[in-house]
Structure 1
């Protein structure tokens, strides 16, 4: 199966403190170690990301972006079932005004 690149950007609420933003970003990065396949208890994704630092003005108010990579067969488990991801969604939900998600298969147009 082809790998999927899952791009995720957060626009935090104005009321979200810098400390909370740091905790949420760290929690997102930690999913790389916390998300495990139930049948084999093995890691199945990679995560990288960071805070916007572009000098261009096209970020549309989004604060940070993450890039998650996993196999296509594991995407639905990640989105709907993985307990670590579900816990993260509950943690981040109250702190965001907007979320941007874009998935693609590299080289497929």
Structure 2
């Protein structure tokens, strides 16, 4: 069953947003499945936070990723070395101050 991963970021300064965006959107090409050696993130999209509801908690950008199944998502979150490197860069050189991440299966409540 397809699973979606939503992640939003708040950075210390606007200077970190562009490298964060570039790094995040490069993940689908760089993250390879441990068994097949092929890319396993099926979709990655994102953009600037534009909600006017006032509930954004300071998040500036958000992204949505799609995975074929929960096992692929679990590998991405817990083990993928490319994702681990991204997280270190985000918290270091890109000055990410806060992250909100959520996952869901379409139609499962």
> Smaller-chain TM-score range?
0.7 to 0.9
Partner of 1:10: 9
Deviates more, 1:35-44 or 1:48-57: 48-57
Partner of 1:38: 34
Q: Which runs of 5+ in 2 are unaligned?
A: none
Aligned partners of 1:56, 1:7: CA distance in 2, in Å?
A: 18
How well do the aligned residues superpose, as a CA RMSD in angstroms? 1.3
Q: Deviations over 1:54-83 (max 9, x none)?
A: 344322210000101112121121112111
Give the TM-score normalised by structure 1.
0.88
Partner of 1:107: 107
Q: Which runs of 5+ in 1 are unaligned?
A: none
Partner of 2:87: 89
